[in-house]
Structure 1
Amino acid sequence: MDGKDVHAVVIGIGKYENLRIPPLRGCGNDTDDVVKYLRDDLGVPSPHIVNLRDEEATQSAILASLDQKLINNPRITKKNAVVIYFAGHGSYAQVSPQWGCVGNIAETICPYNEGALSGKGGIVRGIPQPTLHALLSRLEHVRGCDITVILDSCHSGGMSQILRGDTVTARSALPTCSTPLPLDLDLDIRCGIPVVPRRANLTPIRATFQPDASSHHGPYTMLAACGQNESAYEVVDDNGEHRGAFTLELFQVLRREPSLSYRQITSRVAGKLRTLNQRPQCRGPNRKLDKIPFAQSPFIPALARIDRRRKPVVLRIIRPTYLRIGFLLARFGCSVLRRWRSSKTVLEF
């Protein structure tokens, strides 16, 4: 997939309006790296990237960006890929049984103004997982695009920073409000899911629409920094800069080994984070987890070209080192695969 076919919303929040929420030092560096990867490595045009930082990333601004820049963007079709990245605090909130969340707990991401007074006299709440799932389901239904969600935040731990020495910090926050989320919060969004009910596994957490939290099916692929009861940590990199440990390792792997699938990438990153007891999660439909990220087909088009003018049709391999025969079989099926030439540069079917 060409970079011009990718659209992205990148969110990084290192400081919060509510001073009870501790600042984070690595989110700005993380979002800079993500934007650099999108522009320089994938070739995504700047107008295709929405970049929300700190005070720009309010609750309303985040929801509006997902709605206006993605769901209601007529330039996004089934041929496009969408990337949504979030770096900041994660939290959780009690909900009523009507929310349909396991254990009556909804995991949330913390917008810049969480805990602040809203214009209606109430308190701004975090963006709960069911709201995000509804928006992503609607995006997939309306646009039919390939969706990848990357979350570098944690969903457990205290309001104060969890430190290991002077170099490791957890991205966690306790709820800023002790009351459960109102039943009508984001009700217009959550009730607008235009698809058959699907299991919501945006995050490896307790908040799902279905009792079976082990199911990984959904309309999008999700990469999360940690597991259900774990923290996502910030570390100091080789240049002395604070970074999210997950984001740092993830994008190093994406640059170093661009042909890996989602599963393989997650395994590589998990190995790097083992000393932090932080286990990255990969969730989504099985057919998507074996794909190369941000690509609609099981292989990157730049690695191969199909010559349909010839009979039989010929797939010319440009960089065979990065192209796996398993991907080709998954894409075209064994019945159409006729022979693999000894040169390994042309595949006929």
Structure 2
Amino acid sequence: MSAPSRIDSFQRKVPKIHALIIGINKYKQPHLHPDLEGCVSDAKSMLRYFTDLGVPEDHCLCLYNEHATRDAILNAFMNHLINNPDIKPFDPIVIYFAGYGDSMPAPESWKTADWTTGMILPHDASTIDEKQCYNHGIPELTLRFLLYKLSQEKGNNITLILDSSQFKRNTRGVRSRSSHDPNAPSIPDTLDLELRKSLSVDFPAETEHELASKLSSRSFMGPTLETHILLAACKSQERAQEITNEDFDLGDIIEPKASGVFTTALLKELRKCDLSTMSYATLTRKLLADPASYIIQPQTFQCEGRDRDRLVFSVQNSILKRDIGVVQTSEKGVYRVNIGSAQGVVPGTEFGVFYPDPKPSHASSHTDSTSTPRMILAATDVGPTISQLRNLRSNGPPEIPIDAYVTILRYNDHDGVRIWVDEAVRQDKFWQGVLMKLDPLPIVWVASRINHSLELFLSNGDLELRGSHWIPGQFGGPHTLKRAMESGELVNRIDAIVYFYFNLKVQNDQAPVRDKLGIALRELKAGSTSQRSPGYEAQGGDLFGDNVLAGTVATLHADLDKVFGLKITNNSEHDFFPYVLYYDFEDYSVGSLYEPPGRTTRAQLLAGTSMTIGYGPGTSSPFQVDFTNPKSEKEYGAFVLLVFSEWVDLACFLQDSPLTTDSFSNERRCTEYRPGIWDKLAWDSLVVRIEMVKGK
């Protein structure tokens, strides 16, 4: 049963790994948490595996038994990992814990999905500290804050390995790694608050948003923010078991005397696999395909994380998931890849660039699977199947060779609208009161001014708001919300701006027909007339050009003397009800350019056909392309085509500008969009991003 001491000779070396290894057999309160037998030996086996891989021993901080106190574990996260200058961006980081886990009711303010929180128990769990406070375990919220900060500082090449469990109920004959103090006091809201504040991840930060939205059936510490890969001993309702190691032929106990079922199986597989080809997903399949016959109770090994197709301890993809070719465009610093929104890419998705050393020290010219990215690119213009990438961290990006490729490091497609708040606003009690009332909205409050939609400043006591548009890192002119307004009206106006961004992000992740949809903008001229209304005919070409397919920004010229119409195309095999909305970034209004006449009508956009809006058959009106603000030099907007297999009420998407000086009514006229609301329908969308400049 003990892990083999030899590592297969073909195994690649991974000297860049940095690890925090924790193993606890003995607890300070043994009457509450009886001694375990295999955790320290499991932790030492993990250390031996890493040193056999060529990892310098000083890259691994090991905390055993009485050295693994609560403070020691938290300090190790900060000093050995987060603040360690020797760890470079995207170096592999491994955090291993073997010991007791537990679960307790969570404070209400933590807003966990099932009102409970899992935790790992340090050596001094259930004791009273020098401040006469009860020593709780380290809860999931604290661990998520630490992992989020670590991923921001060092990249998300992080593997969390947990050989513990949180299931309270004990089963006779099973030695499990879960324990509970029945007399433990409730967890205070402020547990680890000072630590969380020091990490510059503020309320209700992405980590809290993640915890609140996490499905209760997921494993303890299952990632949803792309911070790490989780390898766990069991499901949330199972027990992590440890067993006695015996020589079944002689009946003798062998060293180590006990070990965890999960750690033993994991190390056995890791030692014999080829890390240059083994992904996390494949590793887990192999573990599950060879269940241990000595397990007393069901124990299902877990692997969670969006990046399970990465090679183990790497940010590169396994051979089963094709690397993405990247080419440099004619514009310096701009690159193109054949992957887009249909594959989950959004503006802000980060890609790592890899290519072989031009002067390799050995015969092979292939990129080492342990290599870290040579540069980071971010998606700026995203089409259904094509994206343009830019290097946002450098003004003079180097040219890349023809054999370069990229892998996705972070999708950055969080559901909430990301808002950055200046410290002066945070300290102002009036505005804090207003922002607190936004709590139910789909908002992620961010600590850094990177990849966010809105930013809020204090200006002479008023709130100055700036919103992002289609040019990465650039924001529109400031808008001011007056302190003199009623608190409720201020909340309504900010609510409308939040939903402007939130609803604009709504898309079907499966993209079932996106590549079969088309939309073209045509200038119109007066044609034949009737007694009822003038007729219009299209002239000239499609003013959107190739920007719809490429996902790039189309340039339009404002001109009050011209009128325009649209042609929408459905090359799929399905009939659809079409809707065309226009999102105006200048004043955050959303208007309808076309919607079906009513729920009793038939689908208008038939399979394999096109229809026109503003000209040709039908009664829809043409529209003008002009500035919302007459003083503008440039404005931004978006045409959004949505198609559904049934009639849908989209009234809640439409709104007047929340920035008008008159009183603003934010009464929504239909159920607000929420993920999954259209799951029973066939639907999809197409977004055309535009910049409007002064007429020629």
Identify whether the pair has TM-score above 0.5, normalized to the shorter chain: yes
Q: Partner letter of residue 58 of structure 1? A: T
The equivalent residue for 1:263 is 281
Which deviates further from its counterpart, 93-102 or 170-179? 170-179
Question: What is the count of residue pairs matched by the alignment?
Answer: 303
The equivalent residue for 2:405 is 332
The answer to whether 1:30 aligns with 2:37 is: no
Note if contact 1:94-1:179 (Cα within 8 Å) is conserved in structure 2.
no
Of the two, which has the highest radius of gyration?
Answer: 2
The equivalent residue for 2:439 is none
The equivalent residue for 2:22 is 11
Q: Secondary structure at the match of 1:247?
A: helix
Which deviates further from its counterpart, 28-37 or 210-219? 210-219
Which deviates further from its counterpart, 257-266 or 269-278? 269-278
Measured against aligned partners, the alpha-carbon deviations of 1:19-44 in whole angstroms (never above 9, x if no partner) come to: 2211111112101110000101x211
The equivalent residue for 1:151 is 162
Q: Secondary structure at the match of 2:103?
A: strand
CA distance in 1, matches of 2:368, 2:71: 46
CA distance in 2, matches of 1:318, 1:121: 53
Measured against aligned partners, the alpha-carbon deviations of 1:147-203 in whole angstroms (never above 9, x if no partner) come to: 110000011134xx7453xxx5111101354322111000123343549615888xx
TM-score, reference length from structure 2: 0.41
Residue 240 of structure 2 is aligned with which of 217, 232, 235? Answer: 232
Query: How big is the shift at 1:144?
Result: 2.0
Q: Secondary structure at the match of 1:4?
A: coil
Q: Partner letter of residue 37 of structure 1? A: Y
Note if contact 2:223-2:230 (Cα within 8 Å) is conserved in structure 1.
no
Query: How big is the shift at 1:145?
Result: 4.9
Task: List alignment gaps of at least 5 residues for structure 2.
Answer: 1-11, 248-253, 320-354, 370-403, 408-696
Q: Secondary structure at the match of 2:135?
A: coil
The equivalent residue for 1:128 is 139
How do residues 303-342 of structure 1 correspond to structure 2 at under 5 angstroms? 306=356, 308=358, 315-316=365-366, 332=405
Q: Secondary structure at the match of 1:306?
A: coil
Query: How big is the shift at 1:238?
Result: 5.4
Q: Secondary structure at the match of 1:235?
A: strand
The equivalent residue for 2:54 is 43
The equivalent residue for 1:92 is 103
Note if contact 2:158-2:228 (Cα within 8 Å) is conserved in structure 1.
yes
CA distance in 2, matches of 1:197, 1:149: 19
The equivalent residue for 2:263 is 247
Measured against aligned partners, the alpha-carbon deviations of 1:42-89 in whole angstroms (never above 9, x if no partner) come to: 211111110000000000000000011111111112141110000000
The answer to whether 1:290 aligns with 2:301 is: no
- TM-align CA RMSD: 3.0
CA distance in 2, matches of 1:200, 1:226: 24
The equivalent residue for 1:21 is 33
Q: Secondary structure at the match of 1:108?
A: strand
Note if contact 1:130-1:200 (Cα within 8 Å) is conserved in structure 2.
no
TM-score, reference length from structure 1: 0.78
Give the helix-richer structure, 1 or 2: 1
CA distance in 1, matches of 2:36, 2:135: 20
Measured against aligned partners, the alpha-carbon deviations of 1:290-337 in whole angstroms (never above 9, x if no partner) come to: 11211232369xxxx936469xxx844999xxxxxxxxxxx9379xxx
Q: Partner letter of residue 46 of structure 1? A: E
Query: How big is the shift at 1:217?
Result: 2.4
Note if contact 1:246-1:269 (Cα within 8 Å) is conserved in structure 2.
no
Q: Partner letter of residue 226 of structure 1? A: C
Which deviates further from its counterpart, 121-130 or 276-285? 276-285
The equivalent residue for 1:181 is 187
CA distance in 2, matches of 1:318, 1:80: 13
Q: Partner letter of residue 192 of structure 2? A: D
Structure-2 change in CA distance of 1:64 and 1:244 (3 Å): same
Task: List alignment gaps of at least 5 residues for structure 1.
Answer: 202-207, 320-330, 335-349
Q: Partner letter of residue 281 of structure 2? A: R
Point out which structure has higher relative CO (alpha carbons under 8 A, 6+ apart): 1
CA distance in 2, matches of 1:255, 1:197: 36
Q: Secondary structure at the match of 2:93?
A: strand
Give the strand-richer structure, 1 or 2: 2
Q: Secondary structure at the match of 1:102?
A: coil
The answer to whether 1:210 aligns with 2:218 is: no
Note if contact 1:199-1:217 (Cα within 8 Å) is conserved in structure 2.
no
Q: Sequence identity of aligned pairs in percent?
A: 30
Q: Partner letter of residue 257 of structure 1? A: C
